[in-house]
Copies of this chain bind each other. A is one copy, B any other.
Amino acid sequence: VIASSESPTKHKIGSRHRNPRGHGAELADDIVTGALAIIERTGSSEAVTLRAVAREIGIAAPSIYAHFPDRPAIVTAAVARIFDELRAAIEAGMATRGPTQPVECLVAGCEAYFTFALRNPARYSVLFSEQRLADADYCRPVSIGTGGRPLLEFGAESFALLLDGLEACVKADKSTTKDVVADATAIWVAMHGAVSLRTALPGFPWPEPEWFVRRFVLSLGGIEG
């Protein structure tokens, strides 16, 4: 048994320095970052075990308990970060079009959603993974806000961007939809199905992403019907 050399598989053991006094909470950020790295590398949130995260960032496994009560809590924190990245991507996409082009603005936002999911398949797939949502407890009903808008716990801002985008089309007489929430939901689920199946079955002869997005937005959004 060779004991002196460091194992190359445990790449980060000892690479981390103890946080100075009063900065202990910074480890929580590192834990989430480690979890994201594992999700990225394995493509699955199942691989985010306490021990794997500890290995990833070079700490002992029990140290995690000071910051997270259990495994799902780590994944939930990682998901919150991913939802924030997604929202930022959609906002950046929509910002490429001015308020005088509501249809193109909506399409650009949806294309940004699609592109984010295709470029970050591992990150995206965790967001609405049944596995994860069963671990966390998302069976309780979503409360409803003004205008019949559902108040989601996660992804609320992203869904609001979609609702706002479609509503802007209605106000500019570009959409004939009678139920913005229902039609936005239809656009969302269609895009989700497209990206998740595309990721799961990369060998299938998929249409171009742009074709999908435009078709979903225009057909399901009641635009140039």
Taking CB atoms, residues of chain B closer than 8 Å to A202 are 138-139
Does A134 lie at the interface of the complex (its beta carbon under 8 Å from any beta carbon of B)?
yes
Q: In the bound complex, how far is the Cα of B200 from the Cα of A216, in angstroms?
A: 22
Task: Check B182 against A207 for contact (C-beta < 8 Å).
Answer: yes
Task: Check A44 against B131 for contact (C-beta < 8 Å).
Answer: yes
Produce 1/0 per residue, A189-219, CB < 8 A to B: 1111110111111111111000110011001
Using a CB-CB cutoff of 8 Å, which residues 106-136 of chain A contact chain B? 125, 128-131, 133-134
Q: Which of B128, B140, B197 contacts A192 (CB 8 A)?
A: B197
Interface size on A, residues (CB 8 A): 49
Of the candidates A130, A189, A211, A215, the one having the most CB atoms from chain B within 10 angstroms of its own CB is A189
Given A189-B193, A192-B193; A200-B133 close (CB under 8 Å)? yes
Task: Check B134 against A216 for contact (C-beta < 8 Å).
Answer: no
**How many copies of the polypeptide does the oligomer hold?**
2
Task: Check B131 against A46 for contact (C-beta < 8 Å).
Answer: yes
Q: Which of B130, B189, B205 contacts A125 (CB 8 A)?
A: B130
Q: What are 14 contact pairs spanning A and B, CB under 8 A?
A: A44-B131, A44-B134, A46-B46, A133-B200, A142-B203, A181-B205, A182-B207, A185-B207, A186-B190, A188-B193, A189-B212, A190-B193, A193-B196, A219-B220
Beyond the given A129-B200, A186-B215, could you list 17 further A-B residue pairs with CB under 8 A, ordered by the A residue number? A131-B131, A133-B201, A139-B203, A141-B205, A142-B204, A144-B205, A148-B205, A150-B205, A152-B204, A181-B205, A189-B197, A190-B216, A190-B220, A193-B193, A193-B196, A219-B220, A220-B220
